[in-house]
Amino acid sequence: QVKLQFEVGVNQKPSLFKAISYRSQVVAGMMYYIKVQVAATEYVHLKVLQGLPPEDECPALVSFETGKTRDDPLICD
């Protein structure tokens, strides 16, 4: 659900966008840290906030890190 937000942030459309792994943290809603494959050997880490309803029903891309590999630990700050 945050693919378009990511595409706008990097100003390109990746050929692939497949979630590989994630972890979550309870905040005022839920914070998700997601490892996404965007090319054959290229990955990004996304930090996504899913706020509490009814105000924040749609997830928001908080930040992202590009240039990651499959073996990089899933850490997003």
pTM greater than the 0.85 cutoff: yes
- For the residues 58-69, what does the mean pLDDT come to? 93
Q: String of b and e for 58-74 (b: at least 16 CB within 10 Å)?
A: ebebeebbeebeeeeeb
Residue located via tokens 């630990």? 73
pLDDT for res 53: 76
Q: Convert the pLDDT of each residue in 11-56 to its tens digit.
A: 999 989 999 999 999 988 899 999 999 999 999 999 999 988 777 6
Read out DSSP for the chain? --HHHHHHHHTS--S--EEEEEEEEEESEEEEEEEEE-SSS-EEEEEEEEE-TTTT-S-EEEEEEEEE-TTS-----
